Amino acid sequence: MHSWCVQADWRAPTIVGGEGAHFIDDQGRRFLDMSSLAECMNLGHQHPRVVRAIQEQAATLCFVTAAWGAEPRARLAQLLLEKSGFAGGRVFFTLGGADANEHAVKFARQASRKARGRIITRERSYHGASYAAMALSGDARTESQVDAASFGVLRVPPPYAYRCPFGTTNDEDCGAAAAARVAQVIDGAGAGAVAAVLMEPNAGTNGIVAPDNFWPRVREATALRGVYLIADEVMSGFGRCGEWFAWQRYGEAGRPDLMTLAKGLTGAHLPLGAVVLSAGVAAPLEHAMLYTGLTYCGHPLACAAGVAAVQAYEEDGLIERSRRLGAEMRAALDRIAARHPVVGEVRGGAGLFAVLELVRDRATREPLAPWATTHASLRALVDRAREAGVSFATRGNLIILAPPLVIGERELIDALALLDRLLGEFDWT
């Protein structure tokens, strides 16, 4: 079965290879990947260093359980603690993002001694599709499948300044109001009853980019109240937002207590997720029984891929590259928006992540199609771009731009020129 689609409607080419920012189908057609597939192939396709590391690890040792030590697991944990500056912390490895978030919640509850403590998350958020991760997510697609309250989840409105749920008219006020609501909900439940706030720090999977004052204020509010802050960096980590981890944009004022990773952790060459615990969260767990485990926790092949991925980001200068090309992409998108009234807002660009929100009317901000449906012209644009050899991702009225950090400058410019041209070719009424 195929994810997030009607099975009977699914039709897509079979992908048989890839190289750099391109993937190749079984007809030999090459596609420039403007979304890193699922915003995960930050290193592009078939990164030679990562492929080699997997081959070498496979020839040495494919598997060992977490009951025993494994060299690549220890090395990767060390690297993650270094890159995040979580000295004295610990890392728990999972298989992907959803179980990383579930485990972060477990650890936060156990370390805070609030065994059933509430978890505050945002409406219009995505943290994974397993049951507890669905409960954590404020996702309209799956809301009816799970009773979030029974998982101890409380939701707050997102810092979505373009359509501010608090009725404000600028980024700063929206960020302040959204952070104040988090504080209010903690106070309403009682700080002793709330274990953690779990959110994406900056760019969001649902196309929301938080105003810059939002995350530091949430950090301040949670710290003041003795509530842990968990940063979901599954999508925003590993250069996507121009930093190793998006919270680093705010310096120490943005440092969370726990952070979850997946996707870019191996550049999607193998499935792997992680929870990074600060020293403060790890300490109370040090002499406590940890009632959790995964057979494949810290799988040596995946961790070897992770070590090679971290080295590739570093040695190829990809974090800085993402920042530089992100600024270039943002400038090009702003020019595109000036030419096409269907573009209501451009967001992002701190790294190679940006969003175009399409509207029917720029003045009233009337959505192009009701959330989360997709206008026929946008679907046709995606098909036409594919025919031209460029793969764009959309979600509702959003075009999400998240190419691999290795994309060539010329490739990026050409893809955006194609987008510019296609936006002018369709009827957006």
Ligand X SMILES: Cc1ncc(COP(=O)(O)O)c(C=O)c1O
Contacts with ligand X by CB under 6 A lie at 38, 96-98, 101, 126-128, 200, 205, 232, 234-235, 262
Nearer to ligand X by Cβ, of 23 and 353: the residue is 353
> CB of residue 59 vs ligand X: minimum separation in angstroms?
27
CB of 199 to ligand X, least distance (A): 9
Q: How far is the CB of 369 from ligand X (least distance, A)?
A: 22
> How many angstroms separate the CA atoms of 375 and 137, rounded?
25
Minimum distance from CB of 136 to ligand X (Å)?
9
Could you give the CA distance from residue 361 to residue 368 in angstroms, rounded to a whole number? 8
3 or 144: CB nearest ligand X:
3
The least CB distance from residue 118 to ligand X, in Å, is 19
Q: Which is nearer to ligand X, 81 or 199 (CB)?
A: 199
Q: Which of 95, 423 has the CB closer to ligand X? A: 95
Between the two ends of the chain, the Cα-to-Cα distance in Å is 34
| Cα(408)–Cα(207) distance, integer angstroms | 24
Token digits of residue 293: 């485990």
Nearer to ligand X, 128 or 349 (CB): 128
Question: Counting Cβ atoms within 10 Å, is residue 56 exposed (0-12), middle (13-18) or buried (19+)?
Answer: exposed
C-beta of 365: minimal distance to ligand X in Å?
A: 25
- Which lies closer to ligand X via its Cβ, residue 274 or residue 359? 274
Supply 400's token pair: 């999400």
User: What is the nearest approach in angstroms of ligand X to the Cβ of residue 305?
Assistant: 15
Q: Of 195 and 235, which CB lies nearer to ligand X in the complex structure?
A: 235
Nearest distance in Å: CB 128, ligand X: 4
Residue whose C-beta lies closest to ligand X:
97
Nearer to ligand X, 297 or 332 (CB): 297
For residue 309, give both structure tokens. Answer: 């991925």
Quick one: 200 or 243, whose CB is closer to ligand X? 200
Calpha distance 414→420 (Å, rounded): 10
Q: Considering beta carbons, is residue 205 or 394 the nearer one to ligand X?
A: 205
For the bound state, the minimum distance from the C-beta of residue 411 to ligand X, rounded and expressed in Å, comes to 24
Residue 124's closest CA among 199, 211, 65? 199
Shortest separation between residue 146's beta carbon and ligand X, angstroms: 15
Nearer to ligand X, 35 or 222 (CB): 35
Rounded CA separation 136/153 (Å): 6
> Minimum distance between the CB of residue 226 and ligand X, rounded to whole angstroms?
25
